């Protein structure tokens, strides 16, 4: 593609998966205990989308460009960008607001779509909107679809592992379906919205040179980040609690395989 792509990646921060999360009731509704103090990472599915976007822009060349549109508390976004800036080349569009898992995906999508619409020089005829197929904090699996609807993008693909530009300029897309198989689609025109699964790329190593280039635009973007009120208007949570964990251990020796299998089946049925 001679002109290149305009790729917008939507992704927010989530608590580090290694942290113990304790839900509490706050004056504004459910929240996590010491949420602002918890170490944060870029949502894993969104991170895969970012790596795929950067790789696609690099392979395509031309004037391809990647934006990362991220919603979260400004101070935590700044901490997160210190790491993410070294992973891939992108321009940050920051929105100062809640990144809580108790926000409504519809409100989040409306806010992100509004920020995308305001990106200077964005060409919708070359637009790819990337994001995670789900969220590590909310797991609604609907945000990227709603963003597409707000932007008038009807070609949407979810749980994607591979996006290939073919020789004739069309796009081959592999979406996950059941039993470890893929649905293969071919799309001939942009814009397209894609909710990524894990893709095929590993996490790239830190690159200080890319980090220094990115930080020249990241800091100004954070300084001019617009505040956005994002919550769950009209939603009432009856209760919020961690899943119950139960572990029963039995140590035995010299038990036949059939008996072990029978015990496991009986335990599952119970």
The arithmetic mean of pLDDT across residues 134-159, rounded, is 92
Report the pLDDT averaged over residues 60-70: 95
pLDDT at position 135 is 85
Its pTM stands at 0.87
Band the pLDDT of 124: cuts 50, 70, 90.
Answer: very high
pLDDT of residue 1: 52
pLDDT surpassing 90 at residue 155: yes
- Report the Cα–Cα distance between both ends of the chain, in Å, rounded: 57
| Three-state DSSP string of the chain | CCCCCEEEEECCEEECCCCCCCEEEECCEEEECCHHHCCEEECHHHHHHHHHHHHHHHHHCCCCEEEEEEEECHHHHHHHHHHHCCCCCCEEEEEECCCCCCCCHHHHHHHHHHHHHCCCCCCHHHEEEEEECCCCCCCCCCHHHHHHHHCCCCCEEEEEEEEEECCCCCEEEEEECHHHCEEEEEECCCCEEEEECCCCCCCCCCCHHHHHHHHHHHHHHHHCCEECCCCCCCCCCCCCCCCCCCCCCCCCCCCCHHHHHHHHHHHHHC
Q: pLDDT per residue over 192-228, tens digit each? A: 999 999 999 999 999 999 999 999 999 999 999 999 9
**Mean pLDDT, to the nearest integer, of 171-200?**
95
- Would the pLDDT of 189 be above 90? yes
Average pLDDT (11-24) is: 89
CA–CA distance, 225 with 93 (Å, rounded to integer): 8
Give the Cα separation of 11 and 253 in Å (integer): 49
| pLDDT (tens digit per residue) in 214-263 | 999 999 999 999 999 998 888 888 888 877 766 677 778 888 999 989 98
Residue 250's pLDDT is what? 75
Query: What residue ranges define each of the domains in the chain, with the CATH number in brackets?
Result: 6-227 (3.40.50.620)
Express as a percent the part of the chain with pLDDT over 90: 71
For all residues of the chain together, what is the average pLDDT? Answer: 92
Q: By the 8 A CB rule, do 104 and 142 touch? A: no
């Amino acid at each position: 593609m001679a002109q290149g792509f305009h790729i917008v990646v939507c992704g927010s921060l989530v608590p580090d998966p290694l942290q113990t999360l304790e839900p509490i009731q706050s004056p504004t509704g459910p929240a996590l205990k010491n949420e602002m103090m918890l170490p944060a990472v870029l949502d894993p599915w969104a991170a895969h989308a970012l790596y795929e976007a950067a790789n696609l822009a690099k392979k395509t060349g031309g004037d391809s460009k990647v934006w990362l549109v991220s919603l979260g508390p400004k101070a935590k976004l700044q901490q997160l960008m210190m790491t993410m800036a070294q992973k891939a080349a992108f321009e940050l569009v920051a929105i100062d607001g809640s990144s809580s898992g108790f926000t409504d995906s519809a409100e989040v999508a409306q806010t992100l779509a509004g920020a995308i619409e305001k990106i200077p020089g964005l060409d919708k005829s070359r637009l790819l909107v990337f994001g995670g197929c789900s969220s590590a904090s909310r797991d609604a699996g609907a945000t990227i679809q709603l963003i597409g609807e707000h932007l008038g993008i009807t070609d949407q693909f979810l749980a994607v592992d591979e996006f290939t530009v073919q020789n004739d300029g069309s796009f081959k897309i592999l979406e996950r379906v059941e039993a470890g198989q893929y649905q293969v689609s071919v799309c001939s025109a942009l814009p397209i919205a894609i909710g990524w699964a894990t893709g095929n790329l590993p996490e790239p190593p830190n690159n200080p040179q890319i980090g220094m280039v990115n930080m020249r635009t990241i800091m100004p973007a954070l300084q001019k980040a617009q505040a956005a009120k994002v919550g769950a208007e009209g939603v009432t949570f009856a209760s919020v609690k961690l899943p119950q964990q139960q572990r029963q251990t039995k140590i035995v020796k010299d038990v036949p395989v059939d008996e072990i299998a029978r015990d496991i089946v009986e335990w599952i049925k119970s």
